[in-house]
Chain A
């Protein structure tokens, strides 16, 4: 086992975690400035006196060098995919190839104004049109709109289209959305935001949707069902065709949450499974750095019957020319979701990523993502860890439950998560999905090598061993980070989010 330097030794020898960086306000001194960065002294627009502030803004007063050092030091405290293995389940924290970034930042893309005429935007429009076509092809949908600016907005657009479809048919009693209890929390939230009633469907012991329970609740009130496949339990929903049939026969539509698209990319298509609408988290599956709250891109794909309702604008092609399609082309559209057409930079990265992969590469994403997950799952089972669904093959992620360790030695998922940081690994997702007690949801993604996966297994085993010897030591972790174990309960109960001068 090669885990140098030994994290325990580092901890016990006073392994000198870096001192926490002070707030930039704390190094502020009155009158200190970065003159070279100062704005022009002249005021370009004469604001009415009533709108001008009476007192100066409470900004930190530091030199340019202080600002540079402060933010550089903060950046060095990051625990990120560029520095560490990051197996955060349900999040697809894959490595984002540098080329996607470089090419999306070509000056011709960066300099394009969103109000530039179509004749000046043909290059950008061509990329967006091709991205629409690629996504249609890889998901098996009839139409794609790229405009939603995040996964949540893509979900919103998807359910809004389902609602618009039923309303257009005067089938307005359909106000209920079915959601399996293993769903992402965003699914019921989305349905509720759109004024739908949410009804939960239970999951059976094997991790599949309980088909009998589904049959019992579908009816003339059913607007649709929201599903993630593979589900958040890390297993493929085997009855998907049957589920599609039951919901369709009842008059409802099927919504595919693209959170776990990475597992099936190029292998199985949601359109072929019977889904009517899908949102894709392009920032996850198609490579934009994420996890810091954005920006995202939640493109939506639709079946033929939902095409008229797609959010606008969509890119169309007439002869050799690309053009925006808007209200005139799609009069039944659910409308616009942003001022222009979504997060252009994220969409460009997705396009470049798709082009770098090509059709063959797209398959390999799913194949390696699932191979890595199954390898990790098998290794951890061999070393004595309990799987939540031991009889099932993993998708791109899988669940370990520490229920037994918790009962025997009080070792919790949080303890493992915190101690893993000392071993140089970001924690997997913990305590999600809610159905499994003390769980770790592990998603290695396709971009990790075998050596990294092996050392992750060794770290988990080492922590379990440490816990058997001295649980108090593990509960004190992390030891090598800038801060020790944070009081997350107090942080949630006493919100203190803003620096308040004085």
Chain B
């Protein structure tokens, strides 16, 4: 069974969102997503400064099986990208919720976060 930390928010398309104390958010892909993709060999994260709409495809994760888009869970501006993923994409496999974070976002509308799925809601979406 894949891990779904209770303190995070989720999107059906398998991204997680974590609120930081300064109002920004960290985004990555879930344990379930990395498991389904298999060993990652390439990760592309959005450039700092890019403004994203909710649901916009903005990153790519590529495994030996498939290349998949990663979507922005909420709207906002990219303020940091995880620099280690270019050389060690496997961090997402081994540590999807901490070391494998993908980008940080300054939300356009922080209230959007509250509309995302909680851990129970995401778990239910996996069962559907």
Instruction: Flag if A492 contacts B42 (CB, 8 Å).
Output: yes
Q: Tell me the chain B residues, 29-49 only, with Cβ under 8 Å from chain A.
A: 36, 39, 41-42
Instruction: Flag if B89 contacts A431 (CB, 8 Å).
Output: no
How many Å lie between the Cα of A139 and that of B77 in the bound state? 48
Taking CB atoms, residues of chain A closer than 8 Å to B64 are 488-489, 492
Instruction: Flag if A431 contacts B65 (CB, 8 Å).
Output: yes
**A437: Cβ under 8 A from any B Cβ:** yes
**B84: Cβ under 8 A from any A Cβ:** no
Residue of A nearest to B67 (CB): A185
Whole-angstrom distance from the CB of A26 to the nearest CB of chain B? 28
Instruction: Flag if A493 contacts B66 (CB, 8 Å).
Output: no
Taking CB atoms, residues of chain B closer than 8 Å to A431 are 65-66
How many Å lie between the Cα of A432 and that of B67 in the bound state? 11
Per-residue contact bits, chain A 170-190, to B (CB 8 Å; 1 contact, 0 not): 000000000000000100000
Whole-angstrom distance from the CB of B90 to the nearest CB of chain A? 8
Whole-angstrom distance from the CB of B52 to the nearest CB of chain A? 15
**A213: Cβ under 8 A from any B Cβ:** no
Known: A492-B41, A493-B41, A493-B89. A437 touches B67 (CB 8 A): no
How many Å lie between the Cα of A488 and that of B40 in the bound state? 11
**Size of the chain A interface, CB-CB below 8 angstroms:** 10
Taking CB atoms, residues of chain A closer than 8 Å to B94 are none
Whole-angstrom distance from the CB of B102 to the nearest CB of chain A? 18
**B68: Cβ under 8 A from any A Cβ:** yes
Taking CB atoms, residues of chain B closer than 8 Å to A185 are 67
How many Å lie between the Cα of A383 and that of B34 in the bound state? 32
Q: How many A-B residue pairs have CB under 8 A?
A: 18
Whole-angstrom distance from the CB of A104 to the nearest CB of chain B? 36
How many Å lie between the Cα of A299 and that of B64 in the bound state? 31
Residue of A nearest to B42 (CB): A492
Residue of B nearest to A488 (CB): B64
Q: Tell me the chain A residues, 173-221 only, with Cβ under 8 Å from chain B.
A: 185
Taking CB atoms, residues of chain B closer than 8 Å to A434 are 66, 68
Taking CB atoms, residues of chain A closer than 8 Å to B41 are 489, 492-493
Q: Tell me the chain A residues, 403-440 only, with Cβ under 8 Å from chain B.
A: 430-432, 434, 437
Partner of B39, one of A430, A432, A437, A489: A489
Taking CB atoms, residues of chain A closer than 8 Å to B67 are 185
Residue of B nearest to A437 (CB): B36
Whole-angstrom distance from the CB of A405 to the nearest CB of chain B? 16
Residue of B nearest to A434 (CB): B66
Taking CB atoms, residues of chain A closer than 8 Å to B68 are 434
How many Å lie between the Cα of A489 and that of B63 in the bound state? 8
Whole-angstrom distance from the CB of B40 to the nearest CB of chain A? 9
Whole-angstrom distance from the CB of A469 to the nearest CB of chain B? 25
Residue of A nearest to B64 (CB): A488
Residue of A nearest to B93 (CB): A489
Per-residue contact bits, chain A 437-470, to B (CB 8 Å; 1 contact, 0 not): 1000000000000000000000000000000000
Whole-angstrom distance from the CB of B124 to the nearest CB of chain A? 17
How many Å lie between the Cα of A328 and that of B90 in the bound state? 56
How many Å lie between the Cα of A430 and that of B68 in the bound state? 16
Q: Tell me the chain B residues, 5-49 only, with Cβ under 8 Å from chain A.
A: 36, 39, 41-42
Whole-angstrom distance from the CB of B62 to the nearest CB of chain A? 8
Q: Tell me the chain A residues, 112-146 only, with Cβ under 8 Å from chain B.
A: none
Whole-angstrom distance from the CB of A381 to the nearest CB of chain B? 25
How many Å lie between the Cα of A125 and that of B66 in the bound state? 42
Taking CB atoms, residues of chain B closer than 8 Å to A488 are 64
Question: For B36, B39, B68, B89, which residue has the most chain A Cβ atoms within 10 angstroms?
Answer: B39
Whole-angstrom distance from the CB of A301 to the nearest CB of chain B? 30
Whole-angstrom distance from the CB of B128 to the nearest CB of chain A? 11
Residue of A nearest to B65 (CB): A431
How many Å lie between the Cα of A434 and that of B14 in the bound state? 15
Taking CB atoms, residues of chain A closer than 8 Å to B65 are 430-431
Whole-angstrom distance from the CB of A63 to the nearest CB of chain B? 40
Whole-angstrom distance from the CB of A191 to the nearest CB of chain B? 13
How many Å lie between the Cα of A326 and that of B125 in the bound state? 56
How many Å lie between the Cα of A431 and that of B38 in the bound state? 11
How many Å lie between the Cα of A493 and that of B36 in the bound state? 19
Residue of A nearest to B66 (CB): A434
Residue of B nearest to A433 (CB): B66
Taking CB atoms, residues of chain A closer than 8 Å to B36 are 437
Taking CB atoms, residues of chain B closer than 8 Å to A430 are 65
How many Å lie between the Cα of A14 and that of B36 in the bound state? 35
Per-residue contact bits, chain B 64-103, to A (CB 8 Å; 1 contact, 0 not): 1111100000000000000000000110000000000000
Whole-angstrom distance from the CB of A193 to the nearest CB of chain B? 16
Whole-angstrom distance from the CB of A401 to the nearest CB of chain B? 13
How many Å lie between the Cα of A432 and that of B63 in the bound state? 13
Taking CB atoms, residues of chain A closer than 8 Å to B89 are 493
Taking CB atoms, residues of chain A closer than 8 Å to B42 are 492
Taking CB atoms, residues of chain B closer than 8 Å to A432 are 66
Residues of B within 8 A of A (CB): 36, 39, 41-42, 64-68, 89-90
18 A–B contacts, CB within 8 A, in A order: A185-B67, A430-B65, A431-B65, A431-B66, A432-B66, A434-B66, A434-B68, A437-B36, A488-B64, A489-B39, A489-B41, A489-B64, A492-B41, A492-B42, A492-B64, A493-B41, A493-B89, A493-B90
Given known contacts A185-B67, A431-B65, A492-B41, what 15 new A-B pairs fall within 8 Å (CB)? A430-B65, A431-B66, A432-B66, A434-B66, A434-B68, A437-B36, A488-B64, A489-B39, A489-B41, A489-B64, A492-B42, A492-B64, A493-B41, A493-B89, A493-B90
